[in-house]
């Protein structure tokens, strides 16, 4: 039975991971759970999965959590705050830590888990995008595995099983096209938060759903693929595939192309990250190609979605630049979700902040450099937008 710790247990990744654990109680057990601030859901997860340690990130929620499970035995160790989440990440005999925390907040707990010798089921791409230059050497140093749980990277990882070193030539990342794939460019000025949160295919958290609408999610995934699979950026391509049935493809040196297919269900990549290298029988709905009928593909529209090109440029620049891109995006998306900036301001904010960082880019950043770049970029986005009399208009770039 595999022992698992889950960071971000009340979010979209967390609840889907626990669905899997509940379905396969003879395969998986929970050692630790960490959540942001949802006391009620965390308390019910503690009762169901009986972890030995838990943490709630929001410190003011600690008394409520203790109260909610005071009659429950055995009592887990109960912690709070960022330090509590880090303690959960490194605690006990968990073999794999699933990182479902949103954003760069997942970086320090992930590093703690690696240093404690745990394999990482990576559902938090921001960890690798911001922290790649620090995380990858640690993975090597501690001899742990980094198992991708992002659907595209899981697809690539699955296709790569059995491919010899040096066999990979090109990665083709598929993209659904997000909420606005069929909208005219000029209509994007009127986008509301509710519009951006309507993903056509996937059910995911709010931040990543907005990232899918701007196509920044795909840009971030290009950088994630570079770090995970070691290909140069010119060999990582994006193709729009509106049905989201092919989750990505790889081309081998001899031009043979392999793909992984399935319904758009995050449980499948999560299950593979947990069961690798084994395959577990499931009774989930099986793929029906006749029902799907056709699979179509088109070129990404870089005019309409500038975030993809931004991500390629930043990925090539490397160093602390991806951390800046990621942080600027997180902050801009948060402002958009609070209805303080418009949809089209998101790429403008990111480009502005990345431009300003160019002369300060550190080629081999330390963890402190990355954390400083992250903090700086968030402040720059806030500064750039707070000068507006009314934030609800499009900022001008320069």
Nearer to Mg ion, 87 or 152 (CB): 152
Binding string, 149-178, against Mg ion, x = CB under 5 A?
Answer: -xxx--------------------------
Q: How far is the CB of 124 from Mg ion (least distance, A)?
A: 11
Q: How far is the CB of 153 from Mg ion (least distance, A)?
A: 7
H or E element that contains 76: none
Q: How far is the CB of 173 from Mg ion (least distance, A)?
A: 8
Nearer to Mg ion, 96 or 151 (CB): 151
Q: How far is the CB of 161 from Mg ion (least distance, A)?
A: 19
Q: Compute the distance between CA of residue 127 and CA of residue 142 in angstroms, rounded to an integer.
A: 17
H or E element that contains 382: helix 367-386
87 binds Mg ion (CB under 5 A): no
The angle subtended at Cα 232 by Cα 230 and Cα 238, nearest 5°, is 100
Q: How far is the CB of 262 from Mg ion (least distance, A)?
A: 13
Nearer to Mg ion, 33 or 268 (CB): 268
Cβ neighbours for 35, distance < 8 A, ≥ 6 positions apart: 8, 9, 10, 11, 14, 41, 42, 45, 54, 55, 56, 57
Question: If binding means CB under 5 A, how many residues of this protein chain bind Mg ion?
Answer: 3
Nearer to Mg ion, 17 or 151 (CB): 151
Q: Compute the distance between CA of residue 96 and CA of residue 89 in angstroms, rounded to an integer.
A: 10
Nearer to Mg ion, 150 or 330 (CB): 150
Q: Compute the distance between CA of residue 313 and CA of residue 165 in angstroms, rounded to an integer.
A: 27
Tokens of 164: 């010899």
Q: Compute the distance between CA of residue 34 and CA of residue 90 in angstroms, rounded to an integer.
A: 12
Beta bridge partners of 80: 56
Cβ neighbours for 72, distance < 8 A, ≥ 6 positions apart: 46, 47
The angle subtended at Cα 13 by Cα 265 and Cα 179, nearest 5°, is 60
Nearer to Mg ion, 119 or 211 (CB): 211
Q: How far is the CB of 150 from Mg ion (least distance, A)?
A: 4
Q: How far is the CB of 216 from Mg ion (least distance, A)?
A: 12
Binding string, 123-152, against Mg ion, x = CB under 5 A?
Answer: ---------------------------xxx
Contact between 79 and 55 under an 8 Å Cβ cutoff? The reply is yes
Q: How far is C-alpha 119 from the chain's CA centre?
A: 17
Cβ neighbours for 58, distance < 8 A, ≥ 6 positions apart: 36, 37, 80
Closest CB to Mg ion belongs to which residue? Answer: 150
Nearer to Mg ion, 142 or 233 (CB): 233
Which of the residues 9 through 28 are near Mg ion (CB under 5 A)? Answer: none
Nearer to Mg ion, 213 or 384 (CB): 213
Nearer to Mg ion, 38 or 151 (CB): 151
Q: Compute the distance between CA of residue 327 and CA of residue 373 in angstroms, rounded to an integer.
A: 8
Q: How far is the CB of 148 from Mg ion (least distance, A)?
A: 9
Which of the residues 349 through 368 are near Mg ion (CB under 5 A)? Answer: none
Beta bridge partners of 32: 5, 53
Q: How far is the CB of 247 from Mg ion (least distance, A)?
A: 8
What residues line the site for Mg ion (CB under 5 A)?
Answer: 150-152
């Amino acid at each position: 039975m595999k022992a698992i710790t889950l960071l971000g247990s009340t979010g979209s990744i967390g609840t889907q991971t626990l669905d899997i654990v509940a379905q396969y109680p003879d395969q998986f057990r929970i050692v630790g759970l960490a959540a942001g601030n949802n006391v009620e859901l965390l308390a019910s997860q503690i009762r169901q999965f009986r972890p030995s340690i838990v943490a709630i990130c929001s410190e003011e929620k600690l008394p409520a959590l203790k109260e909610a499970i005071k009659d429950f035995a055995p009592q887990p160790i109960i912690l709070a705050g960022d330090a509590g989440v880090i303690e959960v990440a490194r605690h006990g005999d968990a073999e794999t830590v699933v990182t479902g925390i949103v954003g760069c907040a997942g970086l320090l707990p992930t590093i703690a888990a690696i240093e404690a010798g745990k394999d990482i089921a990576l559902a938090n791409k921001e960890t690798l995008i911001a922290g790649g230059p620090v995380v990858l050497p640690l993975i090597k140093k501690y001899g742990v595995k980094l198992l991708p749980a992002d659907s595209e990277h899981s697809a690539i990882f699955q296709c790569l099983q059995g491919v010899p070193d040096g066999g990979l030539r090109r990665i083709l990342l598929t993209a659904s096209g997000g909420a606005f794939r069929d909208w005219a460019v000029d209509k994007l000025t009127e986008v509301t938060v509710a519009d951006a949160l309507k993903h056509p295919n996937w059910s995911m958290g709010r931040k990543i759903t907005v990232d899918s609408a701007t196509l920044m999610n795909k840009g971030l995934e290009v950088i994630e693929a570079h770090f995970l699979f070691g290909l140069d950026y010119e060999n990582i391509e994006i193709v729009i595939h509106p049905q989201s049935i092919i989750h990505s493809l790889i081309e081998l040196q001899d031009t043979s192309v392999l793909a992984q297919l399935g319904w758009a269900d995050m449980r499948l990549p999560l299950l593979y990250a947990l069961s690798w290298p084994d395959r577990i029988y499931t009774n989930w709905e099986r793929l029906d190609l006749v029902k799907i009928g056709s699979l179509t593909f088109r070129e990404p529209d870089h005019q309409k979605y500038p975030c993809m090109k931004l991500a390629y440029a930043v990925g090539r620049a490397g160093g602390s630049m991806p951390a800046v891109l990621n942080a600027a995006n997180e902050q801009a998306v948060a402002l958009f979700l609070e209805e303080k900036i418009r949809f089209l301001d998101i790429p403008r904010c990111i480009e502005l902040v990345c431009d300003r960082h160019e002369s300060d880019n550190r080629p081999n950043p330390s963890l402190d450099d990355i954390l400083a770049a992250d903090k700086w970029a968030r402040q720059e986005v806030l500064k750039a937008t707070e000068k507006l009399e009314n934030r609800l208009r499009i900022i001008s770039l320069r």
